[in-house]
Structure 1
Amino acid sequence: MIRAKDLELDVRHGPILYLEGLNVSFDGFKAIDELTLYVDAGELRCVIGPNGAGKTTMMDIITGKTRPDSGTAFFGQKIDLLKLSEPEIAEVGIGRKFQKPTVFEHHSVFENLELAMAADKRVFPTLFARLSGAQRERIDEVLQTIGLTEQVHREAGALSHGQKQWLEIGMLLMQDPHLLLVDEPVAGMTHQEMERTAKLLTSLAGRHSVVVVEHDMDFVRSIAKRVTVLHQGSVLAEGSMDEVQNDPRVIEVYLGE
Structure 2
Amino acid sequence: MPSAQQEMIDPAPSCRDERGPASDLVDHVIKSRFACRSFSDRVVPRDLVEEVLEVARFAPSGANIQPWHVYVVTGARKDELSAVLLKAHEEARDQYRSEYQYYASPLPDPYVSRREQFGRLFYGSLGIQQWDVPARARQTARNYSFFGAAVGLIITIDRRLQVGSWLDLGMFIQNVMIAAGARGLQTCPQETFAKYHALLRGLLPITPDEMVVCGMSMGYGETGVVDTGSLMPKAAVADFAHFAGFADSADHGILTENKP
* Greater share of strand: 1
Flag the structure with higher helix content: 2
- TM-score normalised according to structure 1 size: 0.28
When Rg is computed on C-alpha atoms for both structures, the one with the higher figure is 2
User: Which fold has the larger relative contact order, with Cα–Cα distance below 8 Å and residues 6 or more apart in sequence?
Assistant: 2
